Chain A
């Protein structure tokens, strides 16, 4: 496959032919302005292949990051089983860095992965910056929702269910209110499958 470098004007004049050539896989066209490469015309099949590779790459990164975050949560949970009231601030700081990367990878994988990661990020930010303190017993529901991200197929209904699940454990990611939201529930929601 040849790489053709063309200015915008040249590409515009030859566009119908170029589209045919890139679709057949003969050429890849790099569009330049003032000799600087600015955009690429590639065949749709090649584009789809690249998209698939990008998602596969993001998925690998996502699962690695989630494992790392799970390990951090496990260590913190073990630490909380000791004597006295643990300070979870340092956990939240490390968790925030991981969650930001998880969200970025999630954005590449699917909207549902991105939404769940985004909620966890919001929870983290609220507990870091707000007046509420994260309680040790809330680590388990966080770990549960984090684990959802290791499922390759997730829907927005799964994300909505995860949000309801967090709410039922008093974790209000989007509209934080100081007060016990759990008290509004007669029963806890079943854990999302």
Chain B
């Protein structure tokens, strides 16, 4: 990549930078060398409520389980399968770093939770965009008794971000997406199109919807600067959005 290339890292790539196979991590490192690397506080908010929250779940599982191999069983039994999958990725990361004994597992997870994961989020980042002023991005895991607490939900009733204001500035883009996605064969993308149409009428409905992936992808696609390419593993959802908005997209190959 040349120094003039700007690459925006989305949440999936930020998670891959920590938990992917070594080959994939190395590919990401190589892809970013020489480029101007950017991400956003909105992505950080998503990262906190996914990977960092999962590290808290894993920490609790290790704390409650006598035998380390039972942790894998408990992960498999988690109701949220996406969270279970990320917990397994974190578990694999611990083993990749040579951590196996319960005391070491807890110790290393504490370091992940306290600062390790957030430091890795910021590795090599040249610019952190803060257009949405996401309130959840300012949260940090706080010790509570033997474990930690992290606020990962916001509500529409309490205004703690500028998401609605930013979306209101993107009316032409929202119109393009609403028109372009309304008959999309992928039901999830069609829902995104319907949601864009609702946002045109009332941008405030975006607040407090932090758990809906289709809003997250939409916000990231809209906050992506026009001169930057999006680096994501989620090509399926982002390609139609970026194509309609005229943005470039990259995906790791390994």
Contact = CB atoms under 8 A, between A and B. Distances in A.
Contacts, number: 87
A144 interface: no
Given A118-B111, A184-B37, A179 B120 contact: no
Interface stretch (B91-99, B165-173, B228-236, B245-253): B91-99
Interface stretch (A27-35, A38-46, A155-163): A155-163
A151 to B, nearest CB: 17
A154 to B, nearest CB: 13
For the complex of A and B, the 7 pairs showing the least CB-CB separation, nearest first, are A184-B124, A160-B115, A179-B29, A177-B25, A179-B26, A183-B33, A174-B116
26 contacts: A114-B107, A115-B115, A122-B98, A125-B98, A129-B98, A156-B115, A159-B111, A160-B115, A164-B119, A167-B119, A174-B112, A175-B18, A175-B25, A175-B93, A176-B96, A177-B29, A178-B22, A179-B26, A180-B29, A180-B33, A181-B29, A181-B123, A184-B37, A184-B123, A185-B124, A186-B126
Contact of B119 (A125, A160, A186): A160
Interface of A: 103, 111, 114-115, 118-119, 122, 125-126, 129-130, 156-157, 159-160, 163-164, 167, 173-181, 183-186
B207 interface: no
Nearest to B117: A174
Most buried by B among A103, A126, A174, A178: A174
A184 B120 contact: no
**B interface, how many residues as a size bin?**
20 to 34
Interface in B10-61: 17-19, 22, 25-26, 29-30, 32-34, 37
A160 B111 CA distance: 9
Given A175-B18, A178-B26, A184 B96 contact: no
Given A163-B116, A163-B119, A181 B22 contact: no
A185 to B, nearest CB: 7
A177 B108 CA distance: 17
Contacts of B93: 174-175
Nearest to B3: A186
A179 B25 contact: yes
Given A160-B115, A180-B33, 10 more contacts: A118-B108, A122-B111, A156-B115, A159-B114, A164-B119, A167-B123, A183-B33, A184-B32, A184-B37, A184-B123
B182 interface: no
A168 B131 CA distance: 28
A174 B117 CA distance: 9
B149 to A, nearest CB: 15
A114 B98 CA distance: 18
Interface string B198-215: 000000000000000000
